[in-house]
Structure 1
Amino acid sequence: MDLSPERRAAVVRELCDALSGAYPGARVEPRGSLAAGTADPYSDIDLLWDVPDERFAGCLAEVGDVLGRVRPVSAVRVDPDYRLCDRRRLLFVHFADLPLFWRLDLDVRARSVAGDETYGSDAVAAPGDDWSAAASALANAVAAIKAVRRGRDGDARGLLERGFARVDALDALDAPDAPGAPGAGAAVSGHWRTDVTRLASAAARAEPAQADHAARVTALARALLGP
């Protein structure tokens, strides 16, 4: 698995070029760890897409096509916290040919509020048809793999517990064949590959449409986490 900074930098350039060139006046800038220069191989790709107000709705409608011209898009989800916001959206984009760690978190803002970091924070959360509890659980699983690789076992445990809760599977690791299975009622064993694999399986059972994504998560756990 190629997680090199050079590869990700090339991907970021491609995405920035596509988004900035999609509409006259559109601007793109890195956010988060990319902007701060603190990104590691497991960091998300965080970008701000600043678009003219009159283009805001059109940009949201066509973002999948814009990004798909760069990389095959496997999923786009809208953060429920900003779904009803009039001039801001936060999109989570997965690409079929990129490592799961490199999800694009795309903050789309109309030009008039582009500099307002708090705009929309008081909006009412409204999950749409694209929002999936199982997909959210799988995002927790990927984040848990990141945490383990970064040496943050406590964070990994919390992420997995929340992931199991999302798909009502807090007892998923109580099966007798789970290596080091915890006591009744516990969800996470600390055997990370087993924990992540069982969360992925629980998510796929909860929503069969997420089976392919769950398989990618399982493969990632087997590749990067110890037995």
Structure 2
Amino acid sequence: MTAPLPASRDEAAALLLEVLGASCPTGAARLIGSMGVPGAADAWSDIDLRWTVGPEGAEDALRSLRPTLERVGTVESLRVDPEPRADLRLVFVRFQGWPLWWRVDLEVHGQGLGSVDVPDADPWSPGESACMGVVVTLKTLARQRPADAEEQLAHAAARVGTTVVAGPWTVRVGSLLDEVAARSPGTADLVARTRRLAREVLGA
């Protein structure tokens, strides 16, 4: 049975903490980032989590991560950062039906976990990574920080081997999403959703 959509981002975060805690009782999961600081989160904050797992059951917890998260909702995308780290796996998760703002950035900490595979992870996608970079850019623009957004959009473009065109933000964001759609056809739905989000933020 599909889990109902959370009524709020706070509820979503609480559900995630609950299922992670239940799957590894010897571990500890907590919010980090802006949601981890009372009063620091705003409407555009995503859900950042740190999950520290002890030696016993650590590998099993990571290898069963997707089924664990499916207890919260349908996992639309689960990507593991390919950069190697000795005791850390950085996982990016999107749930079906959740707003794009609610992407989950999950740090899984544990001795030797950097070499443990997540068997049900989706392949690393430069196109999806670029799309999520656009989402981060839109978040920064909504926060009225255009200088930071410039850097973020350039970084997103680099993920698909292109550069940002000149022009107003609507043109620059739209052009990059065109490139992502052309280079990564599998991201078509995500690109369309990101375009809708861009219209909400940029107004055109």
TM-score interval, smaller chain: 0.7 to 0.9
User: Which among 218, 222, 227 is matched to residue 195 of structure 2?
Assistant: 218
CA–CA separation in structure 2 for the residues paired with 1:18 and 1:214: 30
SS in 2 for 1:21: helix
SS in 2 for 1:81: coil
The Cα shift of 1:60 comes to 1.7
Equivalence for 2:3: none
The Cα shift of 1:211 comes to 1.3
Q: Give matches, 1:140-179, under 5 Å.
A: 140-170=133-163
- Structure 1 residues 104, 188: closer, same or farther in 2, change over 3 A? farther
The one-letter code matched in structure 1 to 2:101 is F
Q: Give matches, 1:35-114, under 5 Å.
A: 35-37=36-38, 38-82=40-84, 85=86, 87-110=87-110
Equivalence for 1:11: 12
Residue deviations 1:14-67 (CA, integer Å, cap 9, x gap): 111111011332321111111122111111211111222232221222111111
The Cα shift of 1:145 comes to 0.4
Residue deviations 1:64-104 (CA, integer Å, cap 9, x gap): 1111111111111111224x53x321101111211111111
SS in 2 for 1:201: helix
SS in 1 for 2:57: helix
Residue deviations 1:120-140 (CA, integer Å, cap 9, x gap): 7xx9xxxx9722211121111
The one-letter code matched in structure 1 to 2:177 is A
The one-letter code matched in structure 2 to 1:225 is L
Stretches of structure 1 that go unaligned for 5 or more consecutive residues are 1-5, 114-118, 171-185
Runs of 4+ in structure 1 off by over 6 angstroms are none
What root-mean-square deviation, in Å, do the aligned CA atoms of Structure 1 and Structure 2 show?
2.3
The structure whose Rg is larger is: 1
The one-letter code matched in structure 1 to 2:76 is S
- Number of residue pairs the alignment of both structures matches: 192
CA–CA separation in structure 2 for the residues paired with 1:68 and 1:166: 28
Stretches of structure 2 that go unaligned for 5 or more consecutive residues are 1-6, 116-120
SS in 2 for 1:151: coil
The one-letter code matched in structure 1 to 2:195 is T
CA–CA separation in structure 2 for the residues paired with 1:55 and 1:192: 47
| Contact kept in structure 2, 1:192 and 1:226, CA below 8 Å | no
The Cα shift of 1:168 comes to 2.5
CA–CA separation in structure 2 for the residues paired with 1:195 and 1:55: 47
SS in 2 for 1:54: coil
Equivalence for 2:174: 197
Identical-pair percentage? 35
CA–CA separation in structure 1 for the residues paired with 2:196 and 2:173: 10
Alignment TM-score, normalising by the size of structure 1: 0.77
